[in-house]
Amino acid sequence: MVNLSRYTLRGMATVGALAGFAALALPNAQAAQTSSTTKTAATAATATTADPAIPNGAQPIVIGNPPAGDGVTTKSSLTNVVRYNRLYKTGPITPSKCKEVNVSLRTYTGVNQYLSQLFRCTYAEWALPLKQAGAAYKVAPKLVVTTARTINSYCGTVTDTAFFCAYNGKSWIYMPTGQIMSFWKSSPTLARAYATNTLAHEYGHHVQWLTGILNASWQRQRAFSTYAAQLEESRRRELQASCLGSASIGANKRYYPMAGGLYQQWVYVVTNSGDQPGGVRDHGSLKNHRFWSFAGFNAARSYAVAGNCNTFNATSAYVS
């Protein structure tokens, strides 16, 4: 079984009841971005100062199928859905031309304003590729920005982590403000990069969900007989979400702009995200997280941006 230790189900009775909604109704754990400890330039120079840590992502759940689009209603095999999805043949992500909101992330109000604009812009960016992929591109997740440390969702109870949840044809992105506001105190630029990357990653899961990849991947994972194979499937899913997220950031990099100090801190975030030494190997090594993040980010000039994020067609070494 997949490691479910990072979250608690609401209760087996609830999950069982939900199982009636769809064939794919078993609870799926879907990991959010995970990150290692990270350093700002300031703390790196001070050996006695603890490095700010980027928290591990939650293991949110997907319950039920996405809204139907003609690209996700075929009877393709699960492997075809994840490996030869129409998403990979879609054109460039549309730059939203949105600028980063110039606001302090010290308070909930600021974080909410910052993330809300980025959310709207990310929705706009993905509309065309999702339409081309035959997905229900108009369906937006609901963004929930909250100061609560513990979040109750249809996917269970999650603490101190951003996560994506889908249930009964709807989806949510939960963004707790605690870590962002905490980073802001030591490094505002790191806070901005972390907030931007985290939301983009979670939106990547929404793209996976709408295209059928998320559910198919979870079905594949359950079908694998070994824990090692299940973990690899989890890593393919997570690394792809990071790649898709980075692709949306990269598509708009001239306008946001993702440059200068913000770009440097973003590089730091993606370079230090991934499985921690001794931890569960469900997100991918730091090296591979960086690899796929750049594969997405630098795809901006490619004819098929999302196609650069096909982690399901990569050899095991690239998803280790």
Shortest CB 203 distance to Zn ion, Å: 10
Q: Are 26 and 65 in contact (CB under 8 A)?
A: no
Q: Are 232 and 220 in contact (CB under 8 A)?
A: no
Q: Are 71 and 133 in contact (CB under 8 A)?
A: yes
| Interface with Zn ion, residue 241, by CB under 5 A | yes
Q: Are 28 and 61 in contact (CB under 8 A)?
A: yes
Shortest CB 34 distance to Zn ion, Å: 8
| Interface with Zn ion, residue 270, by CB under 5 A | no
| Nearest to Zn ion of 2, 32 (CB atom) | 32
Shortest CB 245 distance to Zn ion, Å: 9
State which of residues 2, 24, 29, 32 lies at the interface with Zn ion (CB under 5 A): 32
| Nearest to Zn ion of 128, 280 (CB atom) | 280
| Interface with Zn ion, residue 111, by CB under 5 A | no
Q: How many residues contact Zn ion, by CB under 5 A?
A: 4
| Interface with Zn ion, residue 239, by CB under 5 A | no
Q: What phi and psi, each to the nearest 5 degrees, are found at residue 8?
A: -120, 130
| Nearest to Zn ion of 86, 201 (CB atom) | 201
| Nearest to Zn ion of 40, 171 (CB atom) | 171
The CA distance from 30 to 43, in Å, is 32
| Interface with Zn ion, residue 58, by CB under 5 A | no
One-letter amino acid of 88? Y
Q: Are 269 and 246 in contact (CB under 8 A)?
A: no
Other beta carbons within 10 Å of 74: 12
| Nearest to Zn ion of 32, 269 (CB atom) | 32
| Nearest to Zn ion of 180, 187 (CB atom) | 180
Give the three-state DSSP class for 151.
strand
Q: What phi and psi, each to the nearest 5 degrees, are found at residue 175?
A: -125, 95
| Interface with Zn ion, residue 31, by CB under 5 A | yes
Looking only at residues 219 through 238 of this chain, which bind Zn ion when binding is defined by CB under 5 A?
238
Shortest CB 20 distance to Zn ion, Å: 27
Which residues have CB under 8 Å from 96's CB, separation 6+? 121, 122, 124, 125, 251, 252, 255
Q: Which residues bind Zn ion (CB under 5 A)?
A: 31-32, 238, 241
